[in-house]
Amino acid sequence: MDIKLTKAQIKEAAQQAFDYASTVTGGENAHYIPYLANIDSNLFGLSVMLPDGTAFNFGDTTYKFGIESVSKVPTAILAMIQDSPQGVLEKIGADATGLPFNSIFAILLENHSPSTPLVNAGAISACSMINPKGNSEAKWKAIVDNITDLCGSAPVLIDELYRSESETNFNNRAIAWLLKNYERIYDDPSMSLDLYTRQCSLGITCEQLSVMAATIASHGVNPLTGKRVFDQAISPKITTLIATVGFYQSTGNWLYTSGIPAKSGVGGGVLGVLPGVFGIAAFAPPLDEAGNSVKAQAAVKKFMNILGLGLMNGDFVTIAD
């Protein structure tokens, strides 16, 4: 079916979704990272960006929050840019674990594989893949430059969050060394873990995340800067990873009910991609039991349902002025 939308309709749907989700309560801030436990639970933002750079922003969309697991998306893209989509498939994998984001059991169950760059194990492995190997500062620069290209503006390290995570990331330390044991770490394990922890501690805004989402939806071209950030062949690969594991063990439920591939982080951020149509981001700190933001989920789902859109619907969607 052909679906013709106007920008006014999209703006109105986003406003309605924001208003609705503002009334949704429940969930709790992530408690296992001290910094996140203390963030104001009432913050809430929703941002939509179209492929022509048109932006719709509601609420706290310029507040810098911890990007956390959403950082797994840009670094998976960077590993695909520097190596290849096939290389990421062979070195890390592209399978859902069906288990929590920090599961050690998943590594053992999946024949010693990190499964996907979008869970902790695979993300630490992806950090180890980044070039130039053995040079922490140069690798860090590559990771941050890539996020800057995807967002059209730079993220900022939240030092307090980085310290907070570094002092408490015992489970991730175990993952890094277990992966080393199974030859799934392609650089120094401690350096790879530190880069992963640092990238999770980057502060990002809802507006920036919506630009990153729109860059993926626009097959690698940043709608704000016009820069081609990655080859268009990477776009369906990263969107597939997001669709299969973006919401951890509740990913199937999410895609079934919302229709949009999306990646969440325990900082409360959600990044959603409807290929060729738009990028969307939402942010609110309280999380459900799987670690996904309650309000952000409500907002994105409502937006999709109002517009009657869905990745699997098979519709041809056009947006007019």
Q: Which residue is nearest to ligand GLU (CB)?
A: 69
Binding to ligand GLU by CB under 6 A, coded x per residue (else -) over 176-215, reads ------------------------x---------------
- Cα–Cα distance between 236 and 299 in angstroms, integer? 24
Rounded to a whole number of angstroms, the minimum distance from the CB of residue 230 to ligand GLU is 23
# residues near ligand GLU by CB under 6 A:
11
Rounded to a whole number of angstroms, the minimum distance from the CB of residue 294 to ligand GLU is 15
Rounded to a whole number of angstroms, the minimum distance from the CB of residue 278 to ligand GLU is 23
- Identify the residue among 35, 56, 101, 186 touching ligand GLU (CB under 6 A): 101
Name the residue with tokens 């062979």: 90
Binding to ligand GLU by CB under 6 A, coded x per residue (else -) over 248-267, reads -----------------xx-
Interface residues for ligand GLU in 273-302 (CB under 6 A)? 291
Binding to ligand GLU by CB under 6 A, coded x per residue (else -) over 132-171, reads ---------------------------------x------
CA distances from 166 to 35, 173, 190, 192 (A): 11, 10, 11, 13
Rounded to a whole number of angstroms, the minimum distance from the CB of residue 144 to ligand GLU is 16
Rounded to a whole number of angstroms, the minimum distance from the CB of residue 119 to ligand GLU is 8
Rounded to a whole number of angstroms, the minimum distance from the CB of residue 5 to ligand GLU is 32
Binding to ligand GLU by CB under 6 A, coded x per residue (else -) over 59-98, reads ---------xx-----------------------------
- Cα–Cα distance between 138 and 132 in angstroms, integer? 7
| Structural tokens at position 8 | 């006014």
Interface residues for ligand GLU in 222-251 (CB under 6 A)? none
198: burial class by Cβ within 10 Å (0-12, 13-18, 19+)?
buried
Q: Which residues bind ligand GLU (CB under 6 A)?
A: 68-69, 101-102, 120, 165, 172, 200, 265-266, 291
